[in-house]
Structure 1
């Protein structure tokens, strides 16, 4: 069962959920996408499945989500929230384990911007990186990624309108050598595959094994 937590931030309090693994080997902090918060079925399915793989997961809301606002926080606030959650988790709940960070779409991109500004993380994990807006492939959100030295895992659907496969493959090939992209055939930006018969929760859970394998490889490389 997920443990409800309140994390003090500059805007007041952000809410979080902790899924503790049994005898955890690592700790993952996870942020949601722009349209749905930490309680969304996709986020729940993913977090709980990763915890079953032996990795504890803390998922949190950005301030706008807790406030019931429609539009995401601007980048400076989202980045500062990420930094505060990372700091708080390291002092209160990670138990000294290696900390990995990432998120769904917007949440993952904000995590990478926070890491670019010095936030500590063992690696970055993207659940559908929004490389560009749909049909705007000439405006990429990639410049801050190239200098990063942490390993990066991009989990992507082949039908994702936010990530042209050819372009994303090129971008990842130009990142540090420990970064990789894993494609999920037929999946859209929410990792939904037409006529798959899976629930939203199962769509999220389907990414857990790949995530856990990546984290274990990073730990073994230490």
Structure 2
């Protein structure tokens, strides 16, 4: 494990800018991850900071950004602008990137991957998707699933969800996963709610579990790609 540097940037988005922070590993590695928050909060949401710090210490470049819009189409557009920014960044020449988000942020990431995979210029830059607390349905509204983007995705997908998440019933996510064409894995955080809180368990302990799961999945997928 080694240290990393934090670099603040402003990413052009239409006629404004998105606030973002790079967590840059000391050793240059070829892969990166983009992270964004849910409907509330921003890029400094503790779980995102913890994950970015952890991954950067193991050599994965992380770029987390803030986008406050509550409209999913707007959030998706912003996420796409961040992907383009990183792809053409002269400072960090990456072989590939993983898209990740928490709650609404993971919906935006899934939507970006679906859109880009339907474009003719899909060049394999996006290596996979990480969904933290994917909001599969509204609380108590299990009949309307937000699964349309997931069913079109082909790259590997990791879901990390709480088994007591009121916006992602266990059986329903497992049902959607079984219909997905993509290689997928679900890691359930036992008794965690949508905010990943577990009664009687320290937040740091839960974050450690999330971080190690995400990193080991990333490592498997990077290794498979380059065996």
Say if 1:156 and 1:181, in contact at 8 Å, map to a contact too.
Answer: yes
Tell me the TM-score normalised to structure 1 length.
0.89
Deviation for aligned residue 1:27: 0.3
DSSP-derived class of the 2:141 partner? coil
1:127-148: per-residue Cα shift (whole Å, max 9, x none)? 1100001111001000221121
In the alignment, structure 1 residue 86 sits paired with structure 2 residue 94: no
The residue that corresponds to 2:223 in the other structure is 220
Query: What are the residue-to-residue correspondences of 1:48-67 with 2, within 5 Å?
Result: 48-62=53-67, 64=68
SS in 2 for 1:18: strand
The answer on 1:208 being equivalent to 2:204 is no
Aligned positions, number: 212
| Deviation, structure 1 residue 125 | 0.3
- Cα shift at 1:153: 0.4
| Cα shift at 1:205 | 4.0
TM-score by length of 2: 0.87
Deviation string, structure 1 residues 201-220 (Cα, Å, up to 9, x no partner):
x5434311111111111111
Report which structure shows greater RCO (CA 8 Å, sep ≥6): 1
Distance in structure 2 (CA, Å) of the matches to 1:145 and 1:83: 17
Which residues of 2 match residues 90-109 of structure 1 at below 5 A?
Answer: 90-92=87-89, 93-109=91-107
Q: Is the 8 A contact 1:42 1:203 kept in 2?
A: no
Q: Give, in whole Å, the separation in 2 of the partners of 1:73 and 1:210.
A: 28
Which of 17, 22, 29 is 1:18 aligned to? Answer: 22
Unpaired runs of 5+ in structure 2? 118-124
